[in-house]
Structure 1
Amino acid sequence: MTVPLGIAAVVLQNSLYDVPGGFRAVMFDRFTGVQKDAKPEGTHLLVPWIQRAVLYDCRIKPRNISTTTGSKDLQMVTITLRVLSKPDTEHLSEIFQNLGLDYDERVLPSIGNEVLKAIVAQFDAAELITQREVVSSRIREDLLQRAGEFNIKLEDVSITHLTFGKEFTQAVEAKQIAQQDAERAKFIVEKAEQERQAAVIRAEGEAEAAYTISKALDKAGEAFVALRKIEASKAIVQSLAGNRNVTYIPSSGGNVLLSVPSDSRS
């Protein structure tokens, strides 16, 4: 009784298999071949020694695809793509029959290099920099189409690195230096022009001031000169009045100033 129960337990254990989360199972039958519909997540039954479950990871996988190729103007370009891919769960049986478990390794590097070389050859090196979004969009569209032919879905395609040959890089650096020198020279010229205009404005202001003073003198005439003489005389009187060596002597005609030395002898 124990032996039949043990055999039954082994048969039952071998008749069950689990499909983890994010996976699908393709059933291979020794008599009928690969079944069309893949099994979803969970526990399922199979016929031991006749059927075999092949698990496929259907989660998104990242991959970098890099290639070195020539641009339209014959500049060498190294470009790297980051691709997020997963298998089309509706066609897992076809993927298993045609490509096997390492489907992405067999397909993505080859079609990625093919698309990159074809797209980069349509742009100049400068356009690859200035029109990067257009280049990325073209690569994404073509790669999606090519991957779809192998029942592979691409969730995202983006350019991560874009570098050029030594000669082109040096040419770009030289151009940037020349542009900076041109901007610096332009600034110096503008500064000199502003200083010249400021000098002209100052000269015009000084000329206008001189003209205004000359015009005022012409209008005032002798009265202005007499006023200046009175102011000068007043300044002299105030200076003498503050000197202790000067003495006033009353007279019929007015005060007379007498200068007496401070150290006079008797």
Structure 2
Amino acid sequence: MRSTLGILGCTLLFTSCAVIRPGEAGVKQRLGEFDNEITTQGTITFNPFTTRVVKASIQTNNLELFLRLPSKEGLSVDSEISILYRLETAKVAEILQNIGPNYPEIVTSVFRSASADVCSQFFAKDMHSGKRAEIEQAIMEKMDETLKIQGIIIEAVLMKSIQLPRGLSTSIEQKLQAEQDAMRMEFILQQARLEADRKIIEAEGERDAQKILSEGLTKEIIQIRSIEAFRELSKSPNSKIIVTDGKTPMLITPDPK
């Protein structure tokens, strides 16, 4: 009899304890009503006959969706979306009381509505261009209007994959290719203009140098240069024949024998 009571007591002890692990929040639900006290880590004891412990994750959760988004021109764009969200710890009991454990379905429903409102204001090509971040931010803000007050925090909306309609995708690729070709041609023309400018500057510099040189060669300077040339020739030990009119020397070096 005593052993039976002991076994029963141990059973009651283990069934009246709940362990809350890191990243979780535990709330007691007594006769259908949730307590305001929230445990984020540790052990909770409770009366198994009248109370149970409901756990919820307060870590960042990743909700992945595959759906079609409408565009401004009326096209449907296939997309893969990741929604990063978490529960506000202080409102876990309120979330479980008002929404229940199926809050991911609420996040999904709110996202579908918000994404339809936002994406219908953008063209399909915008979802595949630099405006993607703007669209993601607008959807997240739209979802916050509904979910934040209920204790669900949207951390990010990520449009991971966008599949445009085939005809539009081809048109965008052709446009991008044409833009690349135009940029490459502009670069080639710019290089050609720079090379032409370089040659013009070089020619002008050479012309100016010749002009300065010709303007500086007066008769007096030529005579002085001639005298200097005679002086240098006189210092040389080699035999030379110099023919001159007294102004400009012309050197004739005899062939060595």
TM-score by length of 1: 0.66
Match of 2:196, SS state, is: helix
Q: Say which SS state the counterpart of residue 9 (structure 2) adopts.
A: helix
Question: Partner of 1:85: helix, strand, or coil?
Answer: strand
- Sequence identity percentage: 17
Q: CA offsets, 1:66-90, max 9 Å, x none?
A: 3221221334432513322237323
CA distance in 2, matches of 1:205, 1:156: 65
Does the CA contact (< 8 Å) of 1:65 and 1:112 recur in 2?
no
Q: Deviations over 1:38-67 (max 9, x none)?
A: 55443323263xx24142223223222332
Does residue 243 (structure 1) correspond to residue 256 (structure 2)? The answer is yes
AA at the equivalent of 1:94: Q
Contact 2:132 / 2:159 at 8 angstroms: preserved in 1?
no
1:35 is matched with 33
2:190 equivalent to 1:194: no
Give 5+ residue unaligned stretches, structure 1. 245-266
1:175 aligns with 175
Please name the residue that 1:140 is paired with: 140
Q: Describe the superposition over 1:235-257 as per-residue Cα deviations: whole angstroms up to 9, x where unpaired.
A: 22xx22x533xxxxxxxxxxxxx
1:228–1:152 distance in 2 versus 1, CA, 3 Å: same
Do the aligned partners of residues 38 and 17 (structure 1) sit closer, same or farther apart at CA in structure 2, a change above 3 Å counting?
A: farther
For residues 63 and 200 of structure 1, the distance between their equivalents in structure 2, rounded to whole angstroms, comes to 65
Matching of residue 58 in structure 1 with residue 60 in structure 2? no
Gaps of 5+ in 2: 227-243
The answer to whether the Cα contact below 8 Å between 1:84 and 1:154 also exists between their aligned partners in 2 is yes
User: Aligned equivalents of 2:37 and 2:104: distance in 1?
Assistant: 23
Q: Deviations over 1:158-192 (max 9, x none)?
A: 31414241333333322222222222222232233
1:198-257 C-alpha deviation (Å, 9 max, x unpaired)? 343344345445545655667469967835653x2xx22xx22x533xxxxxxxxxxxxx
Query: What pairs with 1:8-47 in structure 2 (closer than 5 Å)?
Result: 9=9, 12-13=12-13, 16-21=16-21, 22-29=24-31, 34-37=32-35, 40-41=38-39, 42-46=43-47
Give 1:59-98 correspondences, 5 Å limit: 59-60=58-59, 61-77=61-77, 78-86=79-87, 88-92=91-95, 94-95=97-98
Q: Do the aligned partners of residues 11 and 201 (structure 1) sit closer, same or farther apart at CA in structure 2, a change above 3 Å counting?
A: closer
Q: Does 1:113 align with 2:116?
A: no
TM-aligned CA distance change 1:213 to 1:110, over 3 Å: closer
Give, in whole Å, the separation in 2 of the partners of 1:186 and 1:92: 60
Q: Describe the shift of the 1:196–1:221 C-alpha distance in structure 2 as closer, same or farther (beyond 3 A).
A: same
Q: Aligned AA for 2:256? A: N
The amino acid across from 2:118 in the alignment is I
Shift in alpha-carbon separation, 1:92–1:140, aligned structure 2, 3 A: closer
**Change in CA separation of 1:73 and 1:130 when aligned onto 2, cut-off 3 Å:** farther
Write the distance in 1 (CA, Å) between the matches of 2:204 and 2:56. 86
**Alignment partner of 1:53: what SS?**
strand
Deviations 1:81-108 (A, max 9, x none): 332223732315524xx54x3x134322
Deviation for aligned residue 1:2: 2.9
Structure 1 residues 226 and 191: alpha-carbon distance in aligned structure 2, compared to 1, 3 A threshold: farther
Superposition deviation, residue 7 in structure 1: 8.2
Q: 1:126: Cα distance to partner?
A: 4.6
- State the alpha-carbon separation in 2 of the partners of residues 56 and 211 from structure 1: 95
Distance change >3 Å, CA 117–CA 155, structure 1 → 2: closer
Q: Is the 8 A contact 2:87 2:153 kept in 1?
A: yes
Residue 66 of structure 1 contacts residue 79 of structure 1 at CA under 8 Å; is this kept in 2? Answer: yes
TM-score w.r.t. structure 2 length? 0.68
Deviation at 1:111, TM superposition (A): 2.0
**CA RMSD, 1 decimal:** 3.6
Other structure's SS at 1:18 match: strand
